[in-house]
Amino acid sequence: MDLESSVISVEGGQDPNNISTGGNHTMEVVDLARLEKSQPSPPIDQVPPEILGEILRLLPPHRHWQTDVPTCQYFLTAVRSVSRGWYAAALLQGDLWATLILNLDNVAAYNALTSGLAHAWLDRAGTTDRTLQLDSYACDLHGDRVPEDGEGKGCIFANAAIVDALGQMQRLGSIAIDCPFPKCLESLSGAILSRMAPPVHHIPLMFTFVKSFSIAGSHWSEWLWSPPNTLSAVLGEMSLTSLWLSTPSYRSVPNDGFLDQALNIDPSVLRQLTSLNLTCDWPACYLFELLRKCPNLESLSIDSMDSMDSYSFTFRYSGDDEVPAFLPKLKALNLNNFPVDGIPDLAFLHFPSVTEVKGVLIEKDM
């Protein structure tokens, strides 16, 4: 019985090309697998797994293990159902498992993330540099949005399986976290800290391979930036070349001394950065103080918060000496929602290597 006749017999003689619903397609694959079980050796199993793996890699919607895309889950389940050969081929393709995206919708749909899923992902990825994306915008595992105070009890970042996975990621190349509630990030940081061996600065090995780190949130408190400055401690263990940061609003911090503390990031971390993306409304004097510690930046993007006004970027250079070259390796500068009145202040600075400037400028009343 060949592949096409199997499908036709399952569908009652229908032409599979006329099937219109995705559900029928799924049943078609599962029923085909049921028929194949009656055959001693499905022809598909005779194809070398390396070739099957290359075929799987050519399917764009299914290139990554994304728990926020149910069709990908169905696809992998169907692959396993079709034959052992197909599933074995998928396991051989480490880059198919390079990205794990977790968010509320799928974690809730699958009765919360299980330790088995986390371990499976780690095993499948092999030596591939992996990307972990944690999206906790609506992060209560039971499906309810976290209240504005961020006191959700089912935070995805507090999930034991995620903590377990974080402790084992020794080839994690990128971390992206998006969460608007400070409590969620406290849960994550607490989980990370719980994995640290004394003394505290011994972060798990997973961080030592990270080249790109993104952390954003719209309702942060000063907690992340205040002593013991957990964020800075974690950054210090990474081999970062790319950093995305959303800073607390200047208007929400208790005093200027707090910003001084926020700038207390290990200089060695900033020196190795080649790309920096900031969302902030810090006064220019603090912003420039931070940028001066990043001499190797080649790409800089600044996206102002809604509260930005021209005064926030007033930069008064004191002294009679000429301002030295600033960010000598910078090639690309991107300014979004940047006040027009702030541009003249940048004229005091020298960007000798910049070849690309773009962005969106705005006019605001004083």
pLDDT tens track for 19-40: 333 333 333 334 434 444 555 5
Q: Residue 154 is part of which domain span?
A: 96-362
Same domain for 244 and 282, yes or no, is yes
Same domain for 276 and 353, yes or no, is yes
Q: Which of 42, 66, 95 is the last residue of a domain?
A: 95
* Each residue's pLDDT tens digit, 183-236: 555 565 555 555 544 443 333 444 555 666 666 554 444 555 555 545 666 666
Please report the pLDDT score of residue 88 as a whole number: 65
Same domain for 270 and 303, yes or no, is yes
Same domain for 147 and 193, yes or no, is yes
Please report the pLDDT score of residue 146 as a whole number: 43
Same domain for 27 and 174, yes or no, is no
Distance CA 275, CA 238 (A): 14
Stretches in the chain below the pLDDT threshold 50: 1-36, 60-74, 107-113, 138-153, 196-206, 218-221, 229, 307-321, 365-366
Instruction: Provide the whole-model pTM.
Output: 0.55
Same domain for 277 and 333, yes or no, is yes
Please report the pLDDT score of residue 180 as a whole number: 54
Please report the pLDDT score of residue 7 as a whole number: 29
Domain total in the chain: 2
| pLDDT more than 90, % of the chain | 2
